[in-house]
Amino acid sequence: MIENPVPPVSLGAVERAATRIAGRVVRTPLVPSPSLSERAGQSVHLKLETRQPIGAFKLRGAMNAILSLDDAARRRGLVTASTGNHGRAVAYAARELGVAATICMSSLVPANKVEAIRSLGADIRIVGVSQDDAQDEVERLVQTLRLTPIPPFDDVDVVAGQGTIGLELVEDLPDIATVLVPLSGGGLAGGIAVAVKALKPQARIIGVSMERGAAMHAAIAAGKPVATREEETLADSLGGGIGLSNRVTFTLCRDLLDGIVLLTEDEIAAGIRHAAREEEEVVEGAGAVGIAAILADKVQLLGPTAVIVSGGNIDPEIHQDLIGRSTR
């Protein structure tokens, strides 16, 4: 039994975030997928976070966290570690709000994501070969330069911002029964689960990740945050650990997720191809995992389903190579 059932992020916090970020982020469409609906035997809809200005959901959490800061904290400048999309979100929000941002990334972050962040005017630091290495640099800069950290996921304001997706899902699909959500550090999955479970307690929230280095899955299996080796994967935005001192997202995912599905690299590639060929959407590996889980028959859908398409920032050459391959 969970000793403290009160979640670290509340529905009220998500609702306040929705008010705070209104007009600064896009209220993204929820569109039906006839092909996936036919395959699953249930109504399947795609929540297209690819429509955000940065091409990914991360803008919600970053914008909410930065707007929640006082003026002094913003003036000191912002710093974060990122596998790409969060860094892009912080850089975009910082530019919109007129503050400086430093983004720390490992050498595993794809070049197209690094260049997209640089184009937004942020200072780039490439450090080490893992998200943990990048986070070490963030902590050093916080100590030496007094920069203000914007965590990529383990932060109540970031989680509340991501949870605004859940509010939109319930508004647009009132009879929602299942949500398939990409799972990495747990900010997206945890935030959506807070909102959806509060409004639709019977709805199921299924986290979807890759077999290579699924940190939250390993932590939940162990009953506590554990170190996980980061590996190269098509779902690069899902890479990195959850932090051994995780304060927010581990608890949310442990208590609110109804299951976790892990995918092979071939299955993720199939999801990317399906998005391009059948949905006419350019989707990165992390954004395609919900689609991939349906295609691989790794999840049973019970009633109307929303699939979170979390981002579309895939290297164009990799994307072209993937969609050009014939399926076996």
Question: Helical H runs in 109-246?
Answer: 111-119, 131-145, 156-172, 187-199, 215-222
Q: Which domains does the chain have, with CATH numbers?
A: 11-57+155-324 (3.40.50.1100), 58-149 (3.40.50.1100)
The pair of three-digit structure tokens given for residue 51, joined into one six-digit string: 């429509």
Rounded mean pLDDT for each run of 10 residues along the chain, 328 residues in total: 68 98 98 97 98 97 98 97 94 97 94 94 95 93 98 97 98 98 98 98 98 97 94 91 95 98 98 98 98 97 97 94 76
What pTM, to 2 d.p., does this model score? Answer: 0.94
- Cα–Cα distances in Å, from 130 out to 155, 177, 272? 20, 36, 24
**From the CB of residue 220, how many other CB atoms can be counted at a distance below 10 Å?**
22
CA distance 181 to 249: 14
CA distance 229 to 237: 15
**From the CB of residue 82, how many other CB atoms can be counted at a distance below 10 Å?**
29
CA distance 176 to 196: 9
CA distance 160 to 95: 22
CA distance 17 to 198: 16
Q: What confidence score (pLDDT) does residue 240 get?
A: 86
Cα R_g (the chain), whole angstroms = 18
**From the CB of residue 158, how many other CB atoms can be counted at a distance below 10 Å?**
34
CA distance 239 to 212: 8
